[in-house]
C-alpha cells in the first residue's frame, strides 16, 4: 500500500503543483483498496472535505492508472480512527499534545465537553450562550465573543461548542484554531504563495472558532487578513466564535474597526470563580480521579479547604487535585488536611497573597479619579460616596477583615455604615451593568 501511495503521490505532485501538494495531499495516507474503493486516512475532517471537493478526480485518475479500476474514494479521519481505538478507556489523564503542524484545525481535547463543564454563577451566562450557539439553528449572535482570565474555561467551552456542532451536524465544517495558528497559516501561505488557497479554505467553513484572539493584536497584516475573513463569513451568515483574555475594547493594539466588529455580536465574560463553583468543579474532578485511583479515600473537608484556599484559576485547582491524588496513591495514604497542606505547600503559599484594604482603597480611588484621602474622609457627595462604598464592598469580599475592622480603616466609621455600603453595592450590582463591570475589573486588577 505504501509503495502504491508513494507512486501515486509522485504523480499527484506533478498534477497539482508542489504547494498544493504540500498543503493538501502530503498529510493523506492510503490505507486500502478494495472493490474499486480506495480508503484514505486524513488527519482532520476539514482536510478530507476539502480534498474530496477539490482533488477527488485527480486522485481517482492516478490510482486508476497505477492500480487498475478505482471508482470511489472513502475518507477516514484520524478522529474517527482514534475514537474507535480508544473507546473503552475513559481518559482523565494529561491533555493530548496540541496541534500537529500538518493539521489544519487544532485537535479537540476529549475532556472539554459540556457534560464536564461545571456551571455556576460566574460562568452561567457564557455557558448558556455557548450552548445556544452549539445547538445550531439560526445564527443569533455573531460573533459570540467569550472572554475572561487565564484558566477560567474559555478553551473548554470552545471545544465543547465545536464538538457539539460537529455531532449535531456532521456535514458542517467547523474550524477551530488558536489565533496563533491562524497567524502561522497566514504567514506560511504568504511564504509559499498559496494565499488563494488560504483564503478559500477559511471562506469555505460553516463555523469559524478562533481562540485567544488577543494574540494577533499588533500583528498588522494578520489582523488585516483576519478582518477580511471575519467579514466575509459574517456576511455569509456563518457563525463565528472568538475568545480572548479581555473584552474587545480592552485589547490594546487591535484596530478600531476590528474592535467594533467584534462587539457587534454577543460579548460575554467568564467571571473569576467563586467558592461554590470551585467546590463544584473539585467534586466533579474528584469523581473522575476516583476512577483512575480506585480505593483512594479523601477525608471530609479537604475539598472545601482547597476551594477556599486556591482561588487563582481552575487550571491550578485541577493541578493541585491531580498532584494530591498521585501523591496519596504513591504513599498509599488517605488524603486528609495534613497531607494536603504538606503536599501542596507551594501552591497554597502562592495563593496566599492577600489583598489589603489599603490596596483596595488605592485602586478604587485611582479608577474613579478621586483622592485617596476621600476614601477615609467625610464627604458625602455621590461621586465620592459611591466609590467609597465600592471599596467597602471589595474589602468585605476580598479580605477576611470583620465589619468593625473595615470600619476602622475607613476613617473610623461604624460597622453598620460598612454593612449599609456593602448592601447598597450588592443591590446596585444586579441592576447596573456598568457598575458590575467596573467591580469585576477592579477585582481582577487587585487579584493580578
Question: Which of Mg ion, ligand ADP, none interacts with 244 (beta carbon under 5 to 8 A by kind)?
Answer: none
Stretch that binds ligand ADP, among 154-162, 246-254, 335-343, 413-421 (CB under 6 A): 154-162
DSSP string, 331-343: HT--B-HHHHHHH
Note the residues at the interface with Mg ion (CB under 5 A). 154-155
**CA-to-CA distance for 73 and 58, rounded, in angstroms?**
11
Place of cell 499527484: 12
Q: How far is the CB of 363 from ligand ADP (least distance, A)?
A: 24
Question: 150 is in the binding site of which of Mg ion, ligand ADP, none (Cβ under 5 to 8 A by kind)?
Answer: ligand ADP
Vertex 213 angle, CA 187 and 82, to 5°:
80
Minimum CB separation of residue 151 from ligand ADP in Å reads 4
Helix (H, G, I), strand (E, B) or coil at 152: coil
| Angstrom distance (rounded) from CA 42 to CA 51 | 9
- Taking residue 166's Cβ as centre, other Cβ atoms within 10 Å add up to 19
> Considering only residues 9, 45, 78, 156, which one is a binding residue for ligand ADP as defined by CB under 6 A?
156
Q: Of the two residues 43 and 151, which places its CB atom closer to ligand ADP in the complex? A: 151
Geometric angle at alpha carbon 241, from 101 and 228, rounded to 5°:
75
The answer to the question of whether 155 is labelled as a binding residue is: yes
Is 259 marked as binding a ligand? no
| Closest to 177 measured CA to CA, from 200, 197, 205 | 205
Neighbouring C-beta atoms of residue 375, cutoff 10 Å: 24
* Pattern 302-331, ligand ADP, x by CB under 6 A: ------------xx--x-------------
Residue 396 vs residues 122, 279, 328, 378: alpha-carbon distances, Å: 18, 21, 36, 20
Distance of closest approach, residue 285 Cβ to ligand ADP, in angstroms: 7
Task: Compare residues 123 and 229 and give the one whose CB is closer to ligand ADP.
Answer: 123
Q: Give least dist CB 411 to Mg ion, A.
A: 43
Interaction between residue 438 and ligand ADP (CB under 6 A)? no
Question: Which of 155, 223, 229, 340 touches ligand ADP by CB under 6 A?
Answer: 155
Residue 151 sits in the site that holds ligand ADP (CB under 6 A):
yes
**CA–CA separation, 428 and 425 (whole Å):** 5
- The three cell numbers of residue 398 are 476580598
Whole-angstrom CA distances from 373 to 174, 370, 391, 394, 409 are 55, 8, 13, 18, 12
Task: Select from ligand ADP, Mg ion, none the partner in contact with residue 314, using the beta carbon and a kind-dependent cut-off of 5 to 8 Å.
Answer: ligand ADP
Q: By beta-carbon distance, which residue lies closest to ligand ADP?
A: 153
Give the helix/strand (H/E) hosting 128: helix 124-134
Rule CB under 6 A: choose which of 150, 345, 372, 445 binds ligand ADP.
150
Cα of 130 vs its chain's centroid, Å: 11
Based on CB atoms, which residue is closest to ligand ADP, 149 or 265? Answer: 149
384 interface partner picked from ligand ADP, Mg ion, none, CB below 5 to 8 A per type? none
Looking at the chain, how many residues does it have?
Answer: 448
Site for ligand ADP in 204-263 (CB under 6 A): none
Residue 229 is assigned to a ligand binding site: no
Could you tell which of Mg ion, ligand ADP, none binds residue 445, using a CB distance below 5 to 8 A set by kind? none
Where in 69-128 is the site for ligand ADP (CB under 6 A)? 112, 116-118, 123
Gap between the Cα atoms of 437 and 439, Å rounded: 5
Q: Which stretch binds ligand ADP (CB under 6 A): 80-88, 151-159, 343-351, 405-413?
A: 151-159
In 3D, which of 351, 346, 374, 347 has the Cα closest to residue 361?
A: 374
Q: Looking up cell 490596596, which residue turns up?
A: 359
Does the annotation flag 23 for ligand binding? no
Name the residue nearer to Mg ion (CB basis): 9 or 154. 154
The residue (of 123 and 181) whose beta carbon lies closer to ligand ADP is 123
Strand residues in 282-420 grouped as ranges (E): none
Q: Binding ligand ADP by CB under 6 A: which of 62, 217, 281, 302?
A: 281
Enter the DSSP assignment of 22. Answer: I
Can residue 152 be called a binding residue for ligand ADP (CB under 6 A)? yes
Binding-site residue positions for ATP: 151, 153-155
Judged by the rule CB under 6 A, the positions of this chain that interact with ligand ADP are: 112, 116-118, 123, 148, 150-156, 281, 314-315, 318
Amino acid at each position: 500500500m505504501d509503495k502504491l501511495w508513494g507512486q501515486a503521490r509522485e504523480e499527484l505532485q506533478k498534477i497539482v503543483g508542489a504547494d498544493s501538494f504540500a498543503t493538501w495531499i502530503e498529510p493523506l495516507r492510503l490505507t486500502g483498496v478494495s472493490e474499486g474503493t480506495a480508503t484514505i486516512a486524513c488527519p482532520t475532517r476539514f482536510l478530507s472535505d476539502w480534498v474530496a471537493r477539490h482533488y477527488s478526480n485527480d486522485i481517482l485518475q492516478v490510482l486508476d492508472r497505477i492500480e487498475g479500476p478505482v471508482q470511489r474514494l472513502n475518507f477516514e479521519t484520524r478522529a474517527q480512527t482514534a475514537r474507535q481505538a480508544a473507546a473503552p478507556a475513559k481518559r482523565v489523564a494529561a491533555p493530548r499534545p496540541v496541534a500537529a503542524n500538518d493539521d489544519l484545525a487544532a485537535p479537540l481535547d476529549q475532556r472539554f465537553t459540556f457534560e464536564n463543564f461545571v456551571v455556576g454563577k460566574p460562568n452561567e451566562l457564557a455557558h448558556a450562550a455557548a450552548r445556544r450557539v452549539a445547538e445550531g439553528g439560526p445564527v443569533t449572535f455573531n460573533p459570540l465573543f467569550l472572554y475572561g482570565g487565564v484558566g477560567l474555561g474559555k478553551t473548554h467551552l470552545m471545544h465543547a461548542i465545536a464538538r457539539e456542532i460537529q455531532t449535531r451536524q456532521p456535514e458542517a465544517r467547523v474550524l477551530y484554531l488558536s489565533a496563533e495558528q491562524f497567524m502561522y497559516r497566514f504567514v506560511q501561505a504568504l511564504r509559499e504563495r498559496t494565499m488563494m488557497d488560504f483564503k478559500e479554505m477559511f471562506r469555505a467553513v460553516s463555523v469559524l472558532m478562533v481562540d485567544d484572539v488577543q494574540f494577533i493584536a499588533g500583528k498588522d497584516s494578520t489582523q488585516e487578513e483576519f478582518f477580511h475573513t471575519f467579514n466575509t463569513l459574517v456576511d455569509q451568515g456563518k457563525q463565528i466564535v472568538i475568545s480572548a483574555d479581555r473584552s474587545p475594547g480592552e485589547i490594546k493594539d487591535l484596530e478600531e474597526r476590528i474592535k467594533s466588529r467584534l462587539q457587534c455580536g454577543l460579548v460575554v465574560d467568564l467571571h473569576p470563580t467563586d467558592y461554590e463553583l470551585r467546590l463544584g468543579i473539585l467534586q466533579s474532578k474528584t469523581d473522575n480521579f476516583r476512577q483512575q485511583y480506585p480505593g483512594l479515600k479523601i477525608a471530609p473537608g479537604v475539598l472545601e479547604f482547597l476551594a477556599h484556599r486556591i482561588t487563582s484559576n481552575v487550571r491550578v485547582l485541577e493541578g493541585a487535585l491531580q498532584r494530591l491524588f498521585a501523591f496519596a496513591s504513591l504513599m498509599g495514604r488517605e488524603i486528609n488536611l495534613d497531607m494536603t497542606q504538606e503536599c501542596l505547600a507551594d501552591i497554597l503559599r502562592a495563593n496566599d497573597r492577600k489583598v489589603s484594604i489599603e490596596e483596595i482603597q488605592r485602586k478604587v480611588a485611582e479608577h474613579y479619579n478621586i483622592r485617596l484621602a476621600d476614601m477615609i474622609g467625610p464627604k458625602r457627595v455621590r461621586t465620592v460616596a459611591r466609590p467609597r462604598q465600592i471599596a467597602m464592598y471589595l474589602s468585605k469580599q476580598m479580605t477576611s477583615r470583620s465589619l468593625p475592622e473595615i470600619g476602622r480603616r475607613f476613617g473610623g466609621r461604624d460597622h453598620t455604615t460598612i454593612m449599609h455600603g456593602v448592601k447598597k453595592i450588592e443591590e446596585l450590582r444586579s441592576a447596573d451593568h456598568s457598575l458590575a463591570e467596573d467591580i469585576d475589573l477592579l477585582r481582577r486588577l487587585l487579584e493580578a
